[in-house]
Amino acid sequence: LQVYDGHGLDVPIHGTDEKFMGAYAGIALEPQLWPDSPNRSDFAQPFLLPGEIYSQHTQYIFSKID
């Protein structure tokens, strides 16, 4: 799972409540294989051979923290 927290974002954008949203205003969760895996034999390889089937299921469950 790759996680990007938006720390490098510095764009002038307003949310639905007109408050400014800057760095760390969101998060991206990206299920994928390791970066650079095609070039690293010690990582899982992202290639399928003819006839092979790939399947992935991702489920996110969020709850509110009071």
Q: How does pLDDT run across 7-41, given as a tens digit for each residue?
A: 877 777 777 777 777 778 778 888 877 778 889 98
pLDDT band with cut points at 50, 70 and 90 for residue 51: very high
In the prediction, which pLDDT does 43 show? 87
Closest CA to 12 of 28, 23, 1, 4: 23
- How many structural domains comprise the chain? 1
Which range of residues forms the domain containing residue 21? 1-66
Residue 40 neighbours by CB under 8 Å, 6+ apart: 34
In the prediction, which pLDDT does 17 show? 79
pLDDT band with cut points at 50, 70 and 90 for residue 50: very high
Q: Which residue has the tokens 């051979």?
A: 49
